[in-house]
Homo-oligomer: A and B are copies of this chain.
Amino acid sequence: MSASKNTSKKTMDVGEPTLKRREFLSVGGATIAGAAIGGGALEGAESVGLLDRTLPDEELQETLADVEAMTFDVFGTVVDWRTSIIREGQMLGAEKGFELDWPAFADAWRRGYGPAMNRVRTGELPWLKIDDLHRLILDDLLVEFEFPAMTEAEIDDLNRVWHRLIPWPDTVRGLWQLKANFTLATLSNGNVALLTNMAKNAGLPWDVVLSAELSGHYKPDPEVYIKAADLLGLPHEKVMMVAAHKGDLRAAGALGFKTAYVPRPLEYGPGRTIDTTPDPAFDVNATDFMDLAAQM
């Protein structure tokens, strides 16, 4: 918990000169597995490296106080797609009696996602729900990874693993804290049905399910964010985009959204080197959803 934690949205503690600069933990792989950073973490901060960052000044605090809704990227930010796919793959393999490199399969499935979206963007494919894009990629991977014969129902069920992704350990608790003060919305390339089923399965307390599907564009196309703010009935500056992906935040920020960066160093598995450094261009840099709730 940061020393300058705001205990309520309405009574913000910004004036203490000794808190003029906020210090927070840099986010290293060792600290991020997802659990909230509890009391006392700050005391040990020097040992894991401190990052100096200009404390949001009073103007920025007032700006944050204007936020009424938060829109969340989902795959990677809210849920851990990789662990989920690996686990369901292992269960499928155990049930049907085969083995394969499930982490490699999960990574390949996810890697196919950007190129598949681009085939829609370029007009090579018509508009497709992510469910259909996932299936296109999966059909290729069933061959590439030499799956045993599966029924259509089994393949469809495997494709729906994306409807059953599991949250990061801090996700549900953090969302409930944020829900008290903000309207919480998904804003994902996942289609509405996928996001709805995921929320019901994982206990994600969204107030409203918004999706790229509602604009007929994929993030980071501006239409997605513009449509979301319109549906929320809010000017862009009253909406905060929350994501583990800087490109998503930059696209939203360019349209006037507030931005909160929550890195997920384990999104692509342990031992990967990915950029998780905080960036002062974002309104908030948080270590996880509990920290985000504390900062808002």
| A interface residue numbers (CB < 8 A to B) | 129, 131, 183, 185, 191-197, 199-200, 207-209, 213-214, 231-234
Instruction: State whether A197 touches B183 (Cβ < 8 A).
Output: yes
Q: Which B residues are CB-close (under 8 A) to A193? A: 231-234
Option from B194, B196, B214 in Cβ contact (under 8 Å) with A207: B196
Q: Which B residues are CB-close (under 8 A) to A185? A: 196
Least CB distance, A220 to chain B, in whole angstroms: 22
Least CB distance, A217 to chain B, in whole angstroms: 15
- Other A-B contacts than A191-B231, A200-B207, 13 sampled, CB-CB below 8 A, are A131-B233, A183-B196, A183-B200, A185-B196, A191-B233, A192-B208, A192-B233, A193-B232, A194-B233, A195-B208, A196-B207, A207-B209, A209-B209
Name the residue in A131, A199, A231 with the highest tally of chain B Cβ atoms < 10 Å from its Cβ: A231
Q: Which B residues are CB-close (under 8 A) to A200? A: 183, 207
With A129-B233, A233-B131 known to touch, is A199 a contact of B207 (CB < 8 Å)? yes
Least CB distance, A139 to chain B, in whole angstroms: 19
Chain A to chain B: the 7 pairs with minimum beta-carbon distance, closest first: A193-B233, A192-B231, A196-B208, A208-B209, A196-B207, A200-B207, A193-B232
Q: SS class of chain A's interface: helix, strand, loop or mixed?
A: helix
Least CB distance, A193 to chain B, in whole angstroms: 3
Name the residue in A185, A195, A197, A208 with the highest tally of chain B Cβ atoms < 10 Å from its Cβ: A208
Question: How far apart sit A80 and B53, CA to CA, in the bound complex (Å)?
Answer: 51
Question: How far apart sit A193 and B191, CA to CA, in the bound complex (Å)?
Answer: 19
Question: How far apart sit A200 and B193, CA to CA, in the bound complex (Å)?
Answer: 21
Name the residue in A196, A197, A199, A207 with the highest tally of chain B Cβ atoms < 10 Å from its Cβ: A196
With A207-B199, A209-B208 known to touch, is A192 a contact of B232 (CB < 8 Å)? yes
The residue on B at minimum CB distance from A185 is B196
26 intermolecular pairs with C-beta atoms under 8 Å apart: A129-B233, A131-B233, A183-B196, A183-B197, A183-B200, A185-B196, A191-B231, A191-B233, A192-B208, A192-B231, A192-B233, A193-B231, A193-B233, A193-B234, A194-B233, A195-B208, A196-B208, A196-B232, A199-B208, A200-B207, A207-B209, A208-B208, A208-B209, A209-B209, A213-B231, A214-B214
The residue on B at minimum CB distance from A197 is B183
